Structure 1
Amino acid sequence: MKNIKSYPTEEELPPIKTLNEIDFSAIYSYADYMRFEFEERLEIIKGYIFRMSPAPSRMHQKISGRIFNPIYNALNGHQCEVYSAPFDVRLAKKTQDDKEVFTVVQPDLVVICDLTKLDERGCIGAPDIVVEILSPGNNKKELINKYEVYEEAGVKEYWIVSPTHRTFFRYILDENGKFKPTKMLTEGEEVTTKIIPGFKLVLDEVFRD
């Protein structure tokens, strides 16, 4: 009788306890991500590991709160929900199986209107709005790859906020599934969106101090 080689199940795979065990040239899935037991914050974009910036600065946190609160207030009575990092967003392509999900990101803020995408681990599928607040640690490759995966997944609006330059930039998904840029906004201007009726973000308030 032939010996049949058995492979470990997802539950039997050992945990990854230190960052030194990560091979940054290898491909990782969400199943691997769930095995991480170290404190360093990582994201997976198209299977590749990206280090996240260290703990957000005080100003980063303040700006996040100043965007979160108006969204939260505007959503009162609406079906959509808003979440802030740390909050895993899994962008699946073919299947929702953990071993087949190769993009797991933690945007600063997300708005999700299809509540069937929510589970106890976060969001599986494209949020309606993704907000990224730039930090000095953000690299160009990371930002380019995130733009691509958000567009491919069908994120309706992608907001990029720069505390350093006090600017707000927004991409809106068109009917062909491609991001179209809007004009750059800054202090003295306001942001609205069709996704959240009655929402208004005053950039003077966001960037004060």
Structure 2
Amino acid sequence: MATTQQITKAEQLFQASGLGRCELVRGELMMMTPAGFRHGRIACTVAAIIRDFAQGRGLGAVLSAETGFQIGHDPDTVRAPDVAYVAIERIPQTEPVGFFPGAPDLAVEVLSPGDPAGDVLAKVQDWLDAGCRAVWVVDPKTRTVSVYHSRRQITVLSESETLDGGEVLPGLRVAVADLFA
């Protein structure tokens, strides 16, 4: 990732135009390569599965399009997962126009071939440190999902196993293989 413009605050990032895909990490603007076709298809599949489950039960909002979540202040951090879920009780009466203030309940990151492992783990840690209740890291290459609940509580599921929503989305059950179909 390369650093570009002098944008150090979440509000500056939200007001900026023409930047392309980027995140603000501890006051530093980080540019990201556009997602590939496979990445986009898998992210859309995951979002649709969670949306169908949550919407039918009135549980909360599912967000895609790499929606920004402001998870740090002074220096500001705005991260953008591939898919996010926010429980209904955490959504303000007036929906935020800008970045969501805080972490989602669930963040889903779909790996791309060029993602350095250290960057992915740093992002997972940022989500957990900000209060995210679970992070799913979907790996198209190995066809696995790593479920993070904390730094030490990690479960890796193969495509022959079933992913469940745990305490975040109780009752959600989906075959890992279906995420890659």
Structures share a fold, TM > 0.5? yes
Which residue of 158, 168, 171 maps to 1:195?
Answer: 168
Corresponding position of 1:13? none
Change in CA separation of 1:101 and 1:84 when aligned onto 2, cut-off 3 Å: farther
Gaps of 5+ in 1: 1-18, 94-99, 174-178
Q: Is the 8 A contact 1:46 1:103 kept in 2?
A: yes
Query: Within the alignment, does 1:169 sit opposite 2:149 as a pair?
Result: no
What RMSD in Å do the two structures reach over aligned CA positions?
A: 2.3
Distance 2:3 2:144 in 1: 37
Aligned residues: 175
Work out whether residues 4 and 29 of structure 2, in 8 Å CA contact, stay in contact via their aligned partners in 1: no
Query: Taking structure 1 as reference, are residues 190 and 33 closer, same or farther at Cα in structure 2, changes over 3 Å only?
Result: same
The verdict on how the C-alpha distance between 1:83 and 1:147 changes in structure 2, with shifts beyond 3 A counting, is same
- Aligned match of 1:4: none
Q: Which of 150, 153, 157 is the equivalent residue of 2:130?
A: 153
The answer to whether structure 1 residue 105 and structure 2 residue 84 are counterparts is: no
Deviation at 1:21, TM superposition (A): 6.0
User: 1-side partners of 2:3 and 2:79: how far apart?
Assistant: 21
Q: CA deviation at 1:20?
A: 9.3
Q: Which residue of 1 aligns with 2:180?
A: 207
Contact 1:125 1:153 survives alignment (8 Å): yes
Contact conserved, 2:146 with 2:157, CA < 8 A, in 1?
A: yes
Sort the Cα spacing of 1:51 and 1:21 in 2 relative to 1 into closer, same or farther, 3 A.
Answer: closer
Higher percent of residues as strand: 2
Q: Could you say which residue in structure 2 is the equivalent of 1:115?
A: 91
Q: How far off its partner does 1:196 sit?
A: 1.2
Instruction: Give the letter aligned to residue 105 of structure 2.
Output: D
Deviation of 1:67 after TM superposition, in Å, equals 1.1
Is residue 51 from structure 1 mapped to residue 28 from structure 2 by the alignment?
no
Identity %: 23
For 1:64-143, list aligned pairs within 5 A: 64-75=43-54, 76-93=56-73, 100=74, 102-113=76-87, 114-116=90-92, 118-143=95-120
Shift of 1:141: 4.2
> TM-score, structure 2 length as denominator?
0.85
* Cα distance change on mapping 1:181 and 1:77 into 2, 3 Å: same
Give the SS at the match of 1:119: coil
Alignment pair present for 1:180 and 2:152: yes
What SS does the aligned partner of 2:121 have? helix
CA contact (8 A) 1:50 1:142 kept: no
Query: How far does residue 134 in structure 1 lie from its aligned partner after superposition?
Result: 0.8
Q: 2:5 aligns with which of 22, 34, 45?
A: 22
Shift of 1:101: 6.0
* Structure of greater Rg: 1
Is residue 67–residue 201 contact of structure 1 (8 Å, CA) maintained in 2?
no
